[in-house]
Amino acid sequence: MNHAAKQRGLRRRRPNYDDSSSSWLVTYSDAITLLLAFFVMILSVSDLNQGKVEALQQGLAEVNASQQPTTPFTDIKRGLDDFVKENGLEDQVSVTLDQRGVQIEFANVALYDSGSADLKDNALPLLQELSRVIRDVSGDSHMVEVEGHTDGVPITTEQFPSNWELSSARATHVVKYLLASGIAKERLKASGFADSRPKPVIDGESLEQQRKDNRRVVVAVRRY
């Protein structure tokens, strides 16, 4: 083969590139994917409030029985649950965790006589324990919201022309007690809802039981 033919053969031969020269693209692609996943996670977490975080911690703790959740909201629930059980108040007080924090619901009979907004004497130890737990466990970043609720039976008295005034007065009296117990006024809020936010009706529940369930005061400890 002459020299010209050899040159033509070389030009026709396909170059043999080393595949390792493009391996950096795989590493680069992995890094970009990880960064994207990281920023998506940061965005998701930024929308969570303290209640949601603590609810997640509690759920994880339930999966791993050896781990006990320790958060302000769960500590409040634990402390109040112990007091309620020790004093046999299970049918008058319930404490639940939700995505926003902890919620303490008092049946009306636990705090007030019918048609009254004056706290009963035997309600004071319960509110005293509530105040102590909130002071000792929660921080300045927690708001304490008190809601008054009534049933749909109209009330018309000189002191309470309607259920709006009655529910507001009941919530306000609880707030005043918490304030006197050392909880800062900036953290307290009172709201009266009358019968505008009834609880869901349970199948087979009598009308009288529905009314009883709706006569309640709710204290919610939330993060600002």
pLDDT digit string, tens, across residues 79-125: 999 999 999 999 999 999 988 899 999 999 999 999 999 999 999 99
Q: And the tokens for 64?
A: 């791993």
- Least Cα distance to 149 among 123, 112, 181, 203 occurs for 112
The answer to whether residue 216 scores a pLDDT higher than 90 is: yes
Q: Please, which pLDDT band fits residue 140 given cuts at 50, 70 and 90?
A: confident
- Least Cα distance to 82 among 31, 147, 16, 126 occurs for 126
- Least Cα distance to 59 among 99, 94, 90 occurs for 99
HSE (side-chain half, CA atoms, 13 Å) at 103: 12
Instruction: Classify 222 as helix, strand or coil.
Output: strand
- What is the model's pLDDT at position 71? 74
The answer to whether residue 32 scores a pLDDT higher than 90 is: no
pTM here is: 0.70
